[in-house]
Structure 1
Amino acid sequence: MKKHLLLLVIIMLSACKNEQDTKKEEVILWTPYNDSIEVTENADHENGRMQYKLIQSKVLDKNEVFTPLYEEVSKLTEATYKELLPMILEQDILVIRNHIKEGRLTYENLVLFYLYRIYKYELNNATTLNTVIALNKDVVAQARELDKQNEMGVTAQIQHPIFGMPILLKDNINTLGMKTTAGSIALMDNEVDDSFIVQQLKYNGALILGKVNLSEWAYFLCSGCPVGYSAYGGQTLNPYGRRIFETGGSSSGSGTSVAANYAVAAVGTETSGSILSPSSQNSVVGLKPTIGVLSRSGIVPISSTLDTPGPMTKNVKDNAILLSAMLGYDEFDSVSVEDVYPGILSSYLHPTPFLEMRLGAIKELMETDSIYQQTIEDLKEAGATIIEFTPPEVSMDGFLSILNIDMRNDLKKYLKNNTDPELVKITSIKDAVTFNATDSLVRIPYGQALFEGILSDSTTAEELEAIKVNLQKNGRTFFDTAMNKYKLDAVLSINNYHAGYAAVAKYPALTIPMGYKTSGEPISLTFIGKPYSEANLLRIGKSYEDKFPKRVISADYQN
């Protein structure tokens, strides 16, 4: 009898536990909606790339993303969030660290603050930017552990400034515990180890908050399609004008999430314009480093010739801090370099005096863009030496073949070395094309013209090598003709206007908010320098930002 009673109690307890688990699973934080009205409203958009076919992802269930941390986030009251707002919103890393140091803020509350904002805006279909597509379910526990370390007397002197700062990652960067999809349904089950730069971030104490959407396959899939769209994550939207302004791409989620203050900073990647474009479109600071300064190991590739990750932040100071936290020599990246980037971390402490700056202004931009023209005049008035010039015309023939042949080879290597064949069924571009074609409405609503172009490109290895050599020479000629003649520190461009030339030249570029058009669309000033001049660009950029603070947070994401 006692045995039977004991068995009955166990069954009842088990049933109660199962009922509790079921209730937890039944928490509905987000409900899919019919986006056809929004799609129809954009049908006549003057920008053809913004005439969307869909906005909401057909495969991503936001409940699966947001439910695991809901219990933690729900503990933060609206009143506490309001108290934290002035300490964190739009503040730089050193200000936030000082609040922690002086006991006004904890790492746990810092993380919860950003999660609260993400839940507040991303779970509301009227405000969502479709940007956060994965969250680190352990991030709150990890923040608590850092608080414990603080209580035990771990001194700030031995910490990198990135220590404890919540960072978001573009979803083509391998990260343990979260899928790395590159925005593709073919990789939606891709479980991986940490990429080299994520290892460096964690070594320096950064907290990986989650992953953000991107233009699928880093915008090398479809032709003329919307930037910021992926079959996995849906259509990323711009906080300065949802469905009004482009997000830029391919690091669309990195730009929009920083603009909306969803994290301290984010990491993007660039082949040609993919950091500069979304940084400019979302009024944040983005830096595309010299190829080789940051490792590419464990990042879904387009081109081993031109790819690089880079920092995307709200200000120049944070940009220098995030960049320095990812540095390190990687023996598995054939172009990785070391000991060529001194002064990056301290760059914001030593802004370059305007009287010492020699900058090149492109005459065509002076004649066609009034904001650029006024900025140049402002720089002159501040004391900078400005040389107006016309870059020489150089050929960019063969650029597409670099991307085609590199991606055909490099993606195959990534899939072989990083993915589990039980979880990821494709092994090549050809496989991906076949996979996508089986369900064009969900997997490739905008087609896959660029993928098909990769398969049809017949450029030989010898021809490709000649193209790479020639384009690097041409790209450097484009900038160096004036830079060498006038001893310039940098050439001034707009947004990603000259990203292709900087890409083939393998030159670094730093873009900083320059203002807003009459429509409200952000526009940025881009500083392009010679290889390994990142610290110098950051010093110049810090002076520009201090003298001309143009960034204004979007009115719809201030609270």
Structure 2
Amino acid sequence: MVPSFARTVLLLQSCMITLGEWGKKIMKLLFNEILNDELTIKEIQAAFEAEVITSKELVLYYLDRIAKYDQSGPKLNSILEINPDAIFIAEGLDHERKTRGVRGPLHGIPVLLKDNIETNDHMHTGAGTLALERHSGAKDAFLVEKLREAGAVILGKTNMTELANGMSTTMWAGYSSRGGQTLNPYGPGEFFVGGSSTGSAVAVAANLTVMAIGTETDASILSPATQNSVVGIKPTVGLISRSGIVPFTYTQDTPGPFARTVTDAAILLGALTGVDQADPATYKSEGLSFQDYTSFLDPEGLEGARIGVFNHASEDYYKESGEYDEDLFQRVIGTLRNKGAEVIDKIDIPSFHREWSWGVPIYEMKHALGNYLSRLPSHLPVHSDKELIHFNKSNEENTLKYGQNMLEYRAGLPHNTLANPEYLQAKLQDLYFSQEQGIDFALKKFNLDAILFPSYIGSTISAKAGYPSIAVPAGYMKNGRPFGVTFAGSAFSEGTLIKLGYSFEQAAKHRKPPVFK
């Protein structure tokens, strides 16, 4: 019988005490092997406490894996930059642990950030563009401040679909002119990698970090989570501040966590919440958010829960996308029922198949990104969409592999986009049909705790509603491609979704790490 992690730590401690310096050397060798098995935050904290490993050594371990698997070997291309201060930060947190104690569960834990999240350090924030590859943030994003306060080690920045897929309609997910093409670790060059928070999901899946932060406008967390067999939480818009993040929309943008377990995702989510005066969307979260979501981690959380199954996606999804597996989805439903959930098959969501207007993301990206560019320091080469288009044309060989038709289209829109009748009507309709005639309608009609979607097909209606979803691994297809499902709910139902996702995860135990040759 393989010993539990806790027992292994005790054995390593005994080895260290009995054999002295030789014991320490043996201990490090053994622990490196254990690390390959994807340790959780709690397991790493136990190892820190037992002095089996330090935060500095953990950072060094991940830097070694990044060198082996991300920048060479399968060359996953998930990481753009490494924080040159990461080792120093880890050393400082190790010292603080010894002299002052532990800040909390994230003390000394490495985290990676998507390339559109600003940090006030030696790293850059380019949103995947070459034009902004030398842009340094004037201050930390609000969520970065929260991570630093919690004692996390900001390890680096991850690759993303350039401008969050706002560059070109033909751009492949996970590609940026700044970082190239990110690959799926379960089938590099073979399986779809998801977008646009691709690098964050891949880095977590490949065990290049403990956790990572992505952002979502529509499917940008849920898609790469399901494609790469990790847990992703797309929160209610306003649960986590967006200030200090390159904006794409005002209405739908939200950051969110990636981790390999629901527990770790819940721990990370709690560290990020809080009202930020710089982001009015967070005002409504007061009294509805938690700083600790681990209280919802109930292995019996499915008992008595009512879950509606939505399986009325387009025929293209079921037959042509390659993302759906009927056997795996039915096994998910079977697991839910075996754990005591009441599953309601084939629920209807009246507005799901309506022809959604894309006026909100198009007009808001014109306005939001334009504002952001206009406020950049004078030494940077672009300060408007037209300057960005010109920069790309001047560096066409390196920047326009997929063209920039979306950039050019938005550049032709009038500057007063947010007063445009088409935009205003689209915004009103999006909210009405996604909430009252969408998620909330189905939850109320069928008296549901959550809606279950295969992979991420519910991302658009949830994004337009500003409502949360959690993506969890749900097995692997015969060709080895990961399959996942999402649980979706109404505003600020993250606790319920975490409870359901955790109970399913503990019952199914689907996740397997990718194997590198």
TM-score computed with the length of structure 1 as normaliser: 0.81
Aligned match of 1:93: 41
Which residue type is aligned with residue 81 of structure 2?
Answer: A
Superposition pairs of residues 327-406 of structure 1, within 5 angstroms: 327-337=273-283, 338-342=286-290, 344-364=292-312, 368=318, 369-388=326-345, 389-394=347-352, 397=355, 399-406=357-364
Aligned match of 1:246: 192
Aligned match of 1:173: 117
Which secondary structure does the structure 1 equivalent of 2:516 belong to? helix
Distance apart, 1:305 and its partner CA: 0.9
Which residue type is aligned with residue 185 of structure 1?
Answer: L
Which residue type is aligned with residue 129 of structure 2?
Answer: S
Superposition pairs of residues 68-217 of structure 1, within 5 angstroms: 80=28, 83-87=31-35, 89-124=37-72, 126-152=73-99, 154-156=100-102, 159-177=103-121, 178-192=123-137, 193-217=139-163
Aligned match of 1:56: none
Q: Which moved more, 1:538-547 or 1:365-374?
A: 365-374
Is the contact between residue 111 and residue 143 of structure 1 (CA under 8 Å) also seen in structure 2?
yes
Aligned match of 1:74: none
Which residue type is aligned with residue 161 of structure 1?
Answer: P
- The reply on whether 1:466 has 2:425 as its aligned counterpart is yes
Alignment equivalent of 1:228, drawn from 171, 174, 181: 174
Distance apart, 1:436 and its partner CA: 1.2
1:440-466 deviation line (CA, Å, top 9, x unaligned): 221111011211221234664343122
Aligned match of 2:486: 526
Distance apart, 1:151 and its partner CA: 2.0
Is the contact between residue 396 and residue 471 of structure 1 (CA under 8 Å) also seen in structure 2?
no
Return the alpha-carbon distance in structure 2 between the equivalents of residues 224 and 151 of structure 1: 52
Which secondary structure does the structure 1 equivalent of 2:80 belong to? strand
Which residue type is aligned with residue 253 of structure 1?
Answer: G
**Would the alpha carbon gap of residues 355 and 398 (structure 1) be closer, same or farther in structure 2, given more than 3 Å must change?**
closer
Which residue type is aligned with residue 384 of structure 1?
Answer: A
Aligned match of 2:322: none
Which secondary structure does the structure 2 equivalent of 1:115 belong to? helix
Aligned match of 2:392: 436
Superposition pairs of residues 437-452 of structure 1, within 5 angstroms: 437-452=393-408
1:391-415 deviation line (CA, Å, top 9, x unaligned): 2245655632211211111112223
Q: For the aligned residues, what is the CA RMSD?
A: 2.2
Q: Gapped runs of 5+ residues in structure 2?
A: 1-24, 319-325
Which secondary structure does the structure 2 equivalent of 1:399 belong to? coil
Is the contact between residue 164 and residue 248 of structure 2 (CA under 8 Å) also seen in structure 1?
yes
Q: Which runs of 4+ in 1 moved over 6 A?
A: none
Is the contact between residue 230 and residue 511 of structure 2 (CA under 8 Å) also seen in structure 1?
yes
Distance apart, 1:179 and its partner CA: 0.5
Is the contact between residue 287 and residue 510 of structure 1 (CA under 8 Å) also seen in structure 2?
yes
Is the contact between residue 508 and residue 532 of structure 1 (CA under 8 Å) also seen in structure 2?
yes
- The reply on whether 1:496 has 2:456 as its aligned counterpart is yes
Aligned match of 1:409: 367
Distance apart, 1:356 and its partner CA: 2.0
Return the alpha-carbon distance in structure 2 between the equivalents of residues 92 and 445 of structure 1: 39
Distance apart, 1:322 and its partner CA: 0.7
**Would the alpha carbon gap of residues 395 and 457 (structure 1) be closer, same or farther in structure 2, given more than 3 Å must change?**
farther
Distance apart, 1:205 and its partner CA: 0.8
Which secondary structure does the structure 1 equivalent of 2:131 belong to? helix
Is the contact between residue 174 and residue 299 of structure 1 (CA under 8 Å) also seen in structure 2?
yes
Is the contact between residue 279 and residue 286 of structure 1 (CA under 8 Å) also seen in structure 2?
yes
Return the alpha-carbon distance in structure 2 between the equivalents of residues 120 and 394 of structure 1: 44
Distance apart, 1:142 and its partner CA: 1.3
Aligned match of 2:231: 285
Aligned match of 1:38: none
Distance apart, 1:522 and its partner CA: 0.6
Alignment equivalent of 2:506, drawn from 534, 539, 546: 546
Which secondary structure does the structure 1 equivalent of 2:387 belong to? helix
- Alignment length (residue pairs): 476
TM-score computed with the length of structure 2 as normaliser: 0.88
Which secondary structure does the structure 2 equivalent of 1:237 belong to? coil
Is the contact between residue 94 and residue 108 of structure 2 (CA under 8 Å) also seen in structure 1?
no
Is the contact between residue 114 and residue 158 of structure 2 (CA under 8 Å) also seen in structure 1?
yes
1:330-353 deviation line (CA, Å, top 9, x unaligned): 111121132212374323543453
**Would the alpha carbon gap of residues 284 and 390 (structure 1) be closer, same or farther in structure 2, given more than 3 Å must change?**
same
Distance apart, 1:133 and its partner CA: 1.1
Distance apart, 1:486 and its partner CA: 1.8
Aligned match of 1:30: none
Distance apart, 1:150 and its partner CA: 2.0
Distance apart, 1:175 and its partner CA: 1.2
Which residue type is aligned with residue 371 of structure 1?
Answer: L
Return the alpha-carbon distance in structure 1 between the equivalents of residues 352 and 255 of structure 2: 27
Q: Gapped runs of 5+ residues in structure 1?
A: 1-76
Which residue type is aligned with residue 90 of structure 2?
Answer: A
Superposition pairs of residues 471-482 of structure 1, within 5 angstroms: 471-476=430-435, 477-482=437-442
Return the alpha-carbon distance in structure 1 between the equivalents of residues 112 and 26 of structure 2: 23
